[in-house]
Amino acid sequence: MSKVTTLEEAAASVPDGATVAIGGLSMNSAPMALVRELARQQKKDLELVAIVAGMAVDWLVAGGCVRRVLSGLVSFEGLGLAPNFRAAVQSGRVAIEEYSEHLLICRLQAQSHNLPFMPTRAGLGTDVLGLHAASGAVREEKDGPTGEHYVACTRLPVDVALVHAHEADERGTTRVNPKLVWMDNEIVNAAARTVASVERVVDTEAFTSQPERTTYPRFMIDAVAPAPRGSYPCSCFPDYGHDSGFFTAYSQAARDPETFRRFFHEQVVGPDTWDDFLAANDVSTGAPA
């Protein structure tokens, strides 16, 4: 009955064409070990839901796994644009469905709350809404009694959510410690299945002794894949920070297609295991400082 599995098996459970929501925020707490494994397994035609993302989207785009990205923002912050994402969108190779953070969150909430829509003021007055006029995925409305403008955000079905956390037990009870979920709870609540990579698998007693620190109840987590430093090169507060050096080297390599091909193979998808990947990037898997 254990939900503990391997990164390889967890990634294998994601079918081509799936809608995959990716946790974390920007350079924080992204499920990079799971994402790397999706790229290694050469998934095809994935539709990514990534509220505020960066390297995870870029790896999957570089790996040729992505059909469409639903996002509020994809960047490396001050370290630059996400190069493969940028190029793929500019060339039309990858489609983008444009949102803001809260429009996307509200679509996820409509899904998790099983409601026809969630209202927000997000997006009013911007060009984002016009992009959705045909599909009606988000639509501007006027409240009858008050005449107030709002945006109705319709359901967004998600096949799989991928999140990274500190600890889980065999039953799937999961802890981000301290409990800072960014917006990961929104994707977990909306997704049909959730896979969590974790820094370490612990005994259930670790949860029953501090139950107020538990982040996800076991019935919300379908599979647990151990991955020490599983957010690298992103951060996993407070265990480790993001590695600016990796971001910079990656961006540098991306200036030349051949250089990038080599870098992406040697430093990202080439290494057989997550441990090999960390070794290739000179990262210790020892206890967090």
Partner 1 sequence: MSTPVPGYDCTIDELMAVTFSRAMSNDTRAFNGAVSFIPVCGYLLARRTHAPELVWAASSIAVDADPEEIGDSTLSDSLWGRASMLSNSPFDFWSYAQGARYNTFAFRGAQMDACGNVNNTVIGPYESPKVRLPGGGGMADLGAMIPRIYLWSSTHDPRTFVERLDFRSGMGWGDGGDHRERMGMPGGPRLCITNLCVFDFEPASKRMRLASLHPGVTADQVQEATGFEIAMPDGDVPITARPTAEELHILRTEVDPTSARRREF
Query: Which listed residue (2, 42, 135, 204) binds partner 1 by CB under 8 A?
Result: 204
101 binds partner 1 (CB under 8 A): yes
Give least dist CB 271 to partner 1, A.
Answer: 26
Judged by CB under 8 A, the chain residues 212 through 251 that form the site for partner 1 are 212, 214, 217-220, 235, 237-238, 241-242, 244
Q: Where are the alpha helices (DSSP H) in the chain?
A: 7-12, 32-40, 55-62, 83-91, 101-112, 184-190, 205-208, 244-253, 257-263, 274-280
Q: Which stretch binds partner 1 (CB under 8 A): 10-18, 39-47, 83-91, 258-266?
A: 83-91
CB-based contact 70:48 (threshold 8 Å): yes
| H or E element in which residue 116 lies | none
Nearer to its own copies, 90 or 146 (CB): 146
Nearer to its own copies, 125 or 145 (CB): 145
Q: What does the chain come to in residues?
A: 289
Task: Give the residues lining the site for its own copies (CB under 8 A).
Answer: 113-121, 136, 143, 145-146, 148, 150, 154, 178-180, 212-213
Q: Which partner from the list partner 1, its own copies, none does 145 bind, CB cut-off 5 to 8 Å by kind?
A: its own copies
Q: What is the 8-class DSSP label of residue 79?
A: G
HSE-CB of 23 using CA atoms within 13 angstroms: 34
Tell me the DSSP string of 208-260. HTSGGG--B-GGG--EEEE-TTTTTTSBBTTTB---HHHHHHHHHHTTSHHHH
Give least dist CB 239 to its own copies, A.
Answer: 14
Nearer to partner 1, 67 or 86 (CB): 86
25 binds partner 1 (CB under 8 A): yes
Relative to beta strand 149-154, strand 117-120 is antiparallel
Q: Which stretch binds partner 1 (CB under 8 A): 15-23, 39-47, 126-134, 267-275?
A: 126-134
